[in-house]
Amino acid sequence: MPTPPLGPEVDPTPRPLPARIPHRGASVVLEPLRTEHAEELWAAAQSPAAEDGWAYLGYGPFADEGAMRRHVAAFAAQHDPMAWAVRPALTGTADGWLTLMEISPADSAIEIGHIWFSPRMQRTLAATEAMFLLMRHAMDDLGYRRLVWKCHALNAPSRAAAARLGFRYEGTLRAIKVIKGRLRDTAQFSILADEWPARREAIAAWLAEGNWDETGRPCASLARAPHAPLPWIAAAG
């Protein structure tokens, strides 16, 4: 009787869990999230442009600093997701957060998510480097085989960021969640271990000091990976 088809054999050794340690880059520092960050995070969120940043998250905007503080305290106490505050060198203040989550050491799979950047941090070098620091930590330091990015299927900026960083679109999970009383489809992307070295080199080259001119603009863009099509653009409208 023929043997049923099976996937390739891999090293089944469970990968390490992330630790609550800081990560330092050239333009940003990631600090394990603490309640003490709440004051600066609240200040960073005080902009009319900040409202849209909460649209696709399951929390926020917060009514006052106390509500932000309670959220940060609860968020900081969790191990999955594990959250870091993002401190760009340009401002010196905590201007956002991001996490490693859905951590599966036995499957060697981990997700980067719960990304919230204040308006003054969005689309900056520090924003890209913050994500890169956790991506590199997961894939290089901890040795995970699969790095996942998920977002609301209608979240065009998040989908564009995933493609820009080199995540491959895997498909859309339909009607999988209810967020703030609305049905959510979730778009899913990934980078695998054999794809990671090329993406690491591309992002590192984009972040390198020599890629930035005297006006603070990159000389070369961090182009979308050719294998990351965006079939959702027409559907998202």
CA distances from 26 to 88, 108, 186, 198 (A): 9, 28, 33, 21
Let me know: does 217 contact 183? Beta carbons within 8 Å.
Answer: no
pLDDT at 229: 39
pLDDT in tens, 50-100: 889 999 999 999 999 999 999 999 999 999 999 999 999 999 999 999 999
pLDDT at 198: 96
**Nearest C-alpha neighbor of 200 from the set 151, 129, 106, 152:** 129
Over its length of 237 residues, how does the chain's per-residue pLDDT go in tens digits?
888 999 999 999 999 999 999 999 999 999 999 999 999 999 999 988 888 999 999 999 999 999 999 999 999 999 999 999 999 999 999 999 999 999 999 999 999 999 999 999 999 999 999 999 999 999 999 999 999 999 999 999 999 999 999 999 999 999 999 999 999 999 999 999 999 999 999 999 999 999 998 888 899 988 654 443 333 333 332
**Nearest C-alpha neighbor of 172 from the set 155, 157, 194:** 155
171 φ, ψ (degrees, to nearest 5): 145, 180
- In the numeric block, the tokens 């989908």 are attached to 159
% of the chain surpassing 70 pLDDT: 94
pLDDT at 25: 97
Q: Is the Cα torsion angle 48, 60, 26, 223 positive or negative in sign?
A: negative
d(CA 152, CA 183): 10
d(CA 167, CA 159): 9
pLDDT at 235: 32
